[in-house]
Amino acid sequence: MIDFFKADQHPYEDIGGGLSRKLVGHTNELMVVYVQFAKDAIGEVHHHEDHDQIAYVLKGSFKVQLAETMEYLKTGDAFVAPKRVSHGVVSLEEGSVLLDIFSPRRMDFLINPQASQKHAKR
């Protein structure tokens, strides 16, 4: 698939719990998503059975739990959560944004736009 992404043509979608998501693009093996957080919004600790994930902090700051380790990340930092490794975040600033990269793509995000809402809490 060859495609362009123009941010102003793709609004954020409210997924509940102070989180909103914008799909940037995907192929069969890769998906890139922006996730914007309200201050104190929580991405509950969870894991993915079938997906590796890299989360890059585009804006703001987060408290991140990755397996048994807690770390504070700011703009420009990232974490890597291979499949079956637990991870979760708490936004420390209003409007913090993660760039989530999944492999393979998350079909649940395409089929059910509210997917991952169960991981959001505020």
- The CATH number assigned to the domain holding 98 equals 2.60.120.10
Range of the domain at 57: 14-121
Q: Taking residues 15-35, what's their average pLDDT?
A: 94
Give the per-residue pLDDT at 18.
97
In a domain, 61, yes or no: yes
- Res 119 pLDDT > 70: no
Q: What is the mean pLDDT of residues 42-49?
A: 96
What total of structural domains would you count in the chain?
A: 1
Question: Other CB atoms closer than 10 Å to residue 51's CB: what's the count?
Answer: 19
Q: pLDDT > 90: what percent of the chain?
A: 78
pLDDT value for 63:
99
Q: In whole angstroms, how far apart are CA 79 and each of 10, 34, 57, 72, 108? A: 26, 15, 9, 10, 22
- As a whole number of angstroms, the distance between CA 51 and CA 47 comes to 9
The answer as to whether 1 is a domain residue is no
- How many residues in total does the chain contain? 122
Residue 103 has pLDDT above 50, yes or no: yes
- pLDDT tens-digit profile of 58-78? 999 999 999 999 999 999 999
In a domain, residue 68? The reply is: yes
